[in-house]
Amino acid sequence: MDAGEPHAAAEAAEPESGQQAEEPAEVEGPRRRARRERAERRAAQARAEAIEQARREAKRRLRAGSAEPAKGVPRGTVRGLKMALLTFLALVVVIGLGLILYFTPVMSVREIEVTGIAAVSREEVLDVAKVQLGTPLLQVDTGGVAERVATIRRVASARVQRQYPSALGISVIERVAVVYKDFPDGPHLFDRDGVDFATAAPSTMLPIFDVDNPGPTDPASRAALQVITALAPEVAGQVSRVAAPSVASITLTLADGRVVVWGNTDRTAEKAQKLAALLTQPGHTYDVSSPDLPTVR
């Protein structure tokens, strides 16, 4: 064999051009496989738990997000809004009902009741009141009706009230005569305020009003009427004339001719009390102008 043969054999043993020698495969034993499988199972379980936790957190955030607007409104505010709504609805109902009652004959005047009249006739009151039957009660100006009725000479005051559902009440207080004065056209009756409210025959128990300018604005008239209305009924019934030439010289004449010197209106109530006791004594002139020293002559 040539010396070059061993070299050729070595070259023949080398791999062909472009080929690499394969590395030997690693062999996995049973224990290593078991550890790997356990690790994979733990990873899968951890991933499943993480996914479940993420789902729970997402649901919690969703519920919290939907509840946040309700939590943001205090209960007091909600209650206040409900009350405001109820108040508004009630107001709408009241206004609607008021409009119905005001503009429709649902509650209209079907009857007018007049009370307190004696010398004044019902027809006279109704004529002055000027209230048409069928007028809705809410359209009746009760104050205006009362003012018109009070213009009647014999009426001191009047009160008008709606009586639901369909009546109007007119209550009258008539003037009461306390004195009278003769005039060319006949006797005039005056009430306690000095108002000349009627021309008629006076009662036999009514005293004569002896003043120059009788009337509610005359000082002498007011003074004389203050005295006559302060007397006890049993004394006032005996007076036939009250004279007041001035506010400081008031005198009373009794039906039996006795005279009472009153003076001015100072301490009128005290003078009236003293006079009631003084008249039990015999005499002609009873002077109570000084109530501390009343005298009988």
In the chain, alpha helices (H): 5-13, 30-72, 75-103, 122-129, 142-149, 219-230, 233-236, 268-278
**Residue 77, SS3?**
helix
Q: Which residues belong to CATH 3.40.50.11690 in the chain?
A: 177-296
Instruction: State which fold the 108-174 domain adopts.
Output: Ubiquitin-like (UB roll) (3.10.20)
pLDDT, tens digit, 9 for 90 and up, residues 139-173: 999 999 999 999 999 999 999 999 988 999 999 99
Specify the pTM: 0.65
Instruction: State which fold the 177-296 domain adopts.
Output: Rossmann fold (3.40.50)
pLDDT, tens digit, 9 for 90 and up, residues 69-108: 445 557 777 788 888 888 888 887 777 666 666 666 668 9
Residue 4 banded pLDDT, cuts 50, 70, 90: very low
Number of other CB atoms surrounding residue 164 within 10 Å: 10
Give the dihedral sign, CA 77/79/80/85. Answer: positive
Q: Which residues belong to CATH 3.10.20.310 in the chain?
A: 108-174
